[in-house]
Structure 1
């Protein structure tokens, strides 16, 4: 196997894992809490632009150029997206289903338009380049550079996965699922549905911002056209295919759907001439749509469905309660 092929495989998995982070954020909002967010692209864009502004070198004619460390940029992007998510949630979290979807879609459109028109800050349609990349000193060795980038993303995704697993299995996570399944019963137990929804929405938005920051630094360039509604469609497709409500399913769906997207793009480039490739690119959306339909027919809950815990209190000989098994949905 050639070095170039291994390096490309590492790059492919690195990008796929940035989408996995977005899926984990959406899974917290939708899979665990039932919040229908179709403004994913907006929160990802906020994280990407904030991190880029904090870490890029000084550039004349544009706000930013602080040259801060990359870790500060990633943290700043995540916190900025979480803050915007919180403020948006304060206004919209009481909305239900399609109304919340319309509101979040409007927020994403507003963010994309700001990125396009605030040229002194965002670079406008030209975007922001020269974003520092991890392990830039190793760029002369493509294989080592790619392996180090992949290792970094694997660590980030693993830590995020473990943290979210602890959250969703904690009393806080159980309250989220209780609100999702039966809000009236949760309210009767004294739980504030609005407060818990707002917390989940803000944390999920912050995770999406972290994904945007990571993706910006691994690619090295961002522009408003990177954050069109198509990005939201991709992330939703990933979560549906992998399995909503399951963090492992979110990661698996991200890798699979990104693989389908990348392979279909390569096939289009190989089959169609350059003049027809732009029109043929719509086939990618059709291919993803067919994949979603196939998964929904064969596995309505996704490849890895949500694991629901059923507790049965059974009297034992010692007079204590016994709890029974967990089973997949």
Structure 2
């Protein structure tokens, strides 16, 4: 009798699990951001949190778990229960680059279930205007010329070793066959201020540089994508300057722990699709980059491809952080 009861219970388990998944979400959801409050990624996450809260009918609460270029927060998500109650908004560095430069890190890309890409943006190669005028640096070719004359003298910054902005400049060094000096900061915002103040010469910056460019505090000389930015139509791509191939595009995406049920992943993706019809949310995101919602399968393929492409840069540069 006991065995029969157990078999009946076992037979009911799949149905019970499906019912539980169908009822998801039944409680608040944690939205982990592996970067500080006020950061580029956090700004996007706040928009996502508001939208998902409305769509799913449960609070989606942002938790900032900053440190080690996103490693700390992403590791927590990778180790969380795959039940849909812990998800993450993060950038491409933490997913495709960190596992390759932190050999003792706590996760691999396969430890996540990609939900959707949210936005993508090229970097803007900016310089300090006074420095650029002093040394005649108005283009990438000018920067390469000066770097060739003064190996290692040009300083550039990023949000930390192994950050995608760091690797983008390392890739430029490779393409242009120049030597420059990397100065790591705790955040992209700090690196940006260092260029404005003249503490740094140059950096690959995010779209947050646009107001500073408009104000004349930063000078743009190139963008890192394969096409020009609509906001900076007169600024050429690095490829146009003759350094091919060159595509360093930064993205922000929504991911869950690997093993999260497909029904939940799909429901999250469907809920995110609402941003495309939400003028307020879309306008807020458009200040950070180009809104690009792609489905889980396409996002997973994008992660796989970028893991390989950045891996080639990391291997060539011999970058390791532990």
**Range of TM-score over shorter length:** under 0.3
Specify which structure has the higher proportion of strand. 2
Q: Which has the higher helix share?
A: 1
| TM-score under structure 1 length normalisation | 0.21
Query: How high is the TM-score relative to the length of structure 2?
Result: 0.21
